[in-house]
Amino acid sequence: MATIRLGKSDLHINPIGLGANAVGGHNLYPNLNEETGRDVVRTALDLGVNFLDTAFIYGPGRSEELIGEVLKEKGRAKAVLATKGAHKFVDGKVVMDNSPAFLQQSVEDSLRRLQTDYIDLFYIHFPDEQTPKAEAVGALQRLKEQGKIRAIGVSNFSIDQLKEANVNGYVDVLQSEYNLFARDAEKELLPYCEANGISFVPYFPLASGLLGGKYTKDTTFRDLRANNPRFQGEAFARNLDKVDRLRPIASQKNVEVAHVVLAWYLKQPAIDALIPGAKKPEQVKENLKTLDVQLTDAEVEEISSIFK
């Protein structure tokens, strides 16, 4: 399976990774089965999906622990492991901390939970309001020089925060929201990443399932989507009409709408990798069908124009 280089780093990954927030993310998804989560990670590794994306806040901590158990069993060298830190609990509330001392402790804690002596890619998960971004990234650079991490990422940073964080050229990866319904990153973030050798990894690539092609106008929601304007009334109907316009392309290529959408992202400048999630092992196999989709330039432009 062909691999790509992540940013300016020496990490080489399968462009279809695994977003592991449903592996042990009990605070995000109710009634998760941990052995199923382990099987999701095992299946990913067996199929050559080597880019695993997790975070402290998934669990909290439990996702890292489960992945660490599987890597102990399968072999650490099989994975390019990404995790994130910034969240901490103060008097029962979650706050963000990007201070060098906290980031260093976060890396040490993640190493312990993951049962490894190095993390391939460590992200600052969210910016805080007080720490200078170059100072925070500088702390990660020192950890990189010590061999505890191999590459540096930031997540949910604005363009100004990203520029400040990357003042010394240390940032390898930016993770941020981006999908066909949420394209603000095209204005400044994606061009900056392309110009500075930073890989952009989008999250919510299927817009909470809206771009998966599985919903109809009669679908109702009882979770956070119920309060999202994108999933309500006439806006929901219009959005589904846009998704329906992708079905001929998917049918012609004998894949699902979701595969066409994911393949479109990989055609965008600076987007080198995707991290679709999976709650079941068979979903990992489904995600990999994206690599079989070859979009023409005309199809890329057609999809872009549908969602302008």
Strands 12-13 and 87-90 come out as unpaired
Which of the residues 58, 178, 203, 265 is marked catalytic? 58
Separation CA 110–CA 62 (nearest Å): 10
> Helix, strand, coil proportions of the chain in percent (round to 5)?
45, 15, 40
- Is 58 among the residues known to form the active site? yes
Interacting residues of 230 by C-beta distance below 8 A, sequence separation 6+: 181, 207, 210, 236, 239
C-alpha 107 chain-centroid distance: 19
Tell the residue number behind the tokens 């817009």, with chain if given. Answer: 207
Tokens of 112: 């312990």
**DSSP tally for the chain: helices H, then strands E:** 11, 11
Cα four-point dihedral sign 214, 217, 223, 228: positive
DSSP string, 90-117: ETTEEEE---HHHHHHHHHHHHHHHT-S
Interacting residues of 71 by C-beta distance below 8 A, sequence separation 6+: 78, 79, 81, 114, 115, 116
Active centre residues (catalytic): 58
